[in-house]
Amino acid sequence: MIEVRFHGRGGQGAVTAVRILASALYLEGKYTQAIPMYGTERRGAPVVAFLRIGESRINERDLVHNPDIVVVLDPLLSRTVPVTDGLKEGGLIVMNFPKPGNEAGIGGRFRLATVDATGIALEALGRPITNTAMLGAFAKASGLVSLESLEKTLLEQWPGRLGEMNLRALRTAYERVTPPVDVSGIQALGKRPQEEIFSRDVSSWRIFKPQLDEGRCVGCRRCYIYCPEVAISMTQGKARVDYSSCKGCGICGEECPTGAISMIQEVL
């Protein structure tokens, strides 16, 4: 039996990815078990989901503690979440990261494949929803599931244009994922304290941050009202962002009527 653990953030589609992968493997005659784990329903909060793949009926019912494979949907998550905890020696990590595996700050007796799933998702979907790109990367790096089965399952999940956009993300990541590299000689980056789900400092959740053009701000307060983290205040009729409280969801930019807020990618 092969066990897989997916790490992501609320809104990136980790639970959906596990469900699609389980269905695709089922098409290939495998027994599968998809286990979503719902924590706080808070966009941007760390989430996990699990998958078991077997050649015969699976009787285990607990969570996956010692995965063979870990999939990481967010490029910054590994800085604050111990994504390699319990990963078996020689295990595979498939990670959303825009640089080669030996620069990801992950070390240990593992193999690491990387793909810029955020960039691919932005190209294909126009949003940083990385789940389908990571499924393409998983298929290539693990060799456990065919691209064809994933494509078929994806189109059943999202018929029409949305399905086509997700297919593009899937196929592009399949082509671009790096071959797994041995990271046993790499010194793992020191981690920041583990994330507290209810912490006020959510800056480490962010891949994009809002940039304010004060000259275009007319003080309408829409961003202040809609920000789910209360990260925006109004000072002398202009909006101000408290970046330690900003998780980078982009709602302020979508709501701003004058285009005063643009979302820019943080440097990894």
| Residue type present at position 93 | I
Dig out the tokens for 217 from the structure.
Answer: 């701000």
Q: How far is the CB of 193 from ligand SF4 (least distance, A)?
A: 21
Closest CA to 202 of 2, 46, 66: 46
Residues 187-246 that bind ligand SF4 (CB under 6 A): 210, 217-223, 227, 229, 231-232, 239, 241, 246
- The 10 Å Cβ neighbour count of residue 267 is 4
Q: C-beta of 253: minimal distance to ligand SF4 in Å?
A: 7
Does 252 bind ligand SF4 (CB under 6 A)? Our answer is yes
CB-nearer residue toward ligand SF4: 14 or 251: 251
Residue 200 Cβ vs ligand SF4, minimum distance, rounded to whole Å: 12
> Rounded CA gap, 239 and 234, in Å?
5
Name which of 135 and 239 has its Cβ closer to ligand SF4: 239
Amino acid letter at 184?
Answer: S
What's the N-to-C CA distance of the chain in angstroms? Answer: 35
Question: Is 164:147 a contact under the CB 8 Å cutoff?
Answer: no
Query: 93 or 241: whose CB is closer to ligand SF4?
Result: 241
Interface with ligand SF4 by CB under 6 A: which range of 118-126, 156-164, 175-183, 249-257? 249-257
Give the shortest CB-41-to-ligand SF4 separation in angstroms.
16
Q: Residue 44 Cβ, how far from ligand SF4 at the closest point, in Å?
A: 8
Asked whether the beta carbons of 262 and 214 are under 8 A apart, the reply is no
Which of 17, 73, 122, 249 is the binder for ligand SF4 (CB under 6 A)?
249
> C-beta of 30: minimal distance to ligand SF4 in Å?
40
The residue (of 263 and 268) whose beta carbon lies closer to ligand SF4 is 263
Residues forming a β-bridge with 4: 51, 69
Residues in the chain: 268
Tokens representing residue 265 in the block: 């990618």
Closest CA to 36 of 22, 23, 50: 50
Contacts to ligand SF4 by CB under 6 A: 210, 217-223, 227, 229, 231-232, 239, 241, 246-252, 255-256, 258, 260-261
